[in-house]
Amino acid sequence: MEAIYRHRWAVSFLVTLLVLAIPSIVTAQSGPARVQLERFTNGLKSLHARFDQLVINADGLVEENSSGQLWIAHPNRFRWEYGGKFPELIVADGEKIWLYDEMLEQVTIRQQSSLTSDSPLTLLTDLGQLDGQYHVRELGDDSGLDLLELRARNPESQFERVLLGLDDDRVILMIMEDVFGLRTEIRFKDIERNPQLNEELFHFTPPEGVDVIGDF
């Protein structure tokens, strides 16, 4: 279960990074996927969506099947809510990142500034780094989605390869393959672009009685 939480943490950072920083990887030599991506991210300030997430191991077995919803606000705030058997809440308020493990009754705090330069969350505050992190390539159409591949330049990056599937100027599918052979597939639905978001979504107060650990 601990491995699931660590993986969710990393996935939430990367997805948020890509949604907020993708305009920096759209170049003048744009194919169909990049054009859709540019239309979607141009002027993007906030986002709300629901999602279904699968984590598949190197043997092709499903290790996790979960769903939830997310909220993202430019430039560096986000909220991910996971439901199901392992409920979890991840909130970034711009200074701290809070991970609330409901089953363990534990809250982990990380300072945003304490993360290393290889962390996707650090890149949220320095979007110019993104273009140097990935090789970007059009992969054409697959099952009605235009695919864009992001392959990590750094061999020590946690996620070696990311696929974005786009349709109707929206990111519908994200697939992330990490160095441990895990493949994470996220399908987005009910996507709202630039909704008015309550500021309280990006604030978190640990519930009474839970253990609080990490960077205070």
The per-residue pLDDT for 5 is 47
Structure tokens at 176: 């992330």
What are residue 81's phi and psi, to 5 degrees? Answer: -120, 120
Handedness of CA 86, 202, 38, 133 (dihedral sign): negative
Structure tokens at 111: 């300072």
DSSP E strands in 123-210: the ranges are 134-142, 145-152, 159-167, 170-178, 183-193
The amino acid that residue 23 corresponds to is P
The per-residue pLDDT for 188 is 93
Confidence of residue 130 (pLDDT cuts 50, 70, 90): low
Q: Which residues contact 85 (CB under 8 A, 6 or more apart)?
A: 66
What are residue 115's phi and psi, to 5 degrees? Answer: -75, 150
- Provide the residue range defining the domain that includes 71: 2-214
The per-residue pLDDT for 153 is 84
Contact 37, 163 (CB under 8 A): no
Higher pLDDT, 68 or 23: 68
Structure tokens at 89: 């809440």
How many domains is the chain partitioned into structurally?
1
Residue 68 has pLDDT above 50, yes or no: yes
Structure tokens at 150: 């992001």
Distance CA 23, CA 54 (A): 27
Residue 160 has pLDDT above 90, yes or no: no
Contact 94, 112 (CB under 8 A): yes
**Span 89-104, mean pLDDT?**
90
Give pLDDT tens digits for 39-67: 887 788 899 999 999 989 989 999 888 99
Structure tokens at 205: 């107060």
Residue 14 has pLDDT above 70, yes or no: no
Query: Strand pairing of 96-101 and 183-193?
Result: unpaired
Structure tokens at 194: 């630039």
Residue 129 has pLDDT above 60, yes or no: no
Nearest to 150 by CA among 7, 37, 8: 37
Highest mean pLDDT among 18-22, 110-114, 196-200: 196-200
* CATH code of residue 47: 2.50.20.10
The per-residue pLDDT for 205 is 95
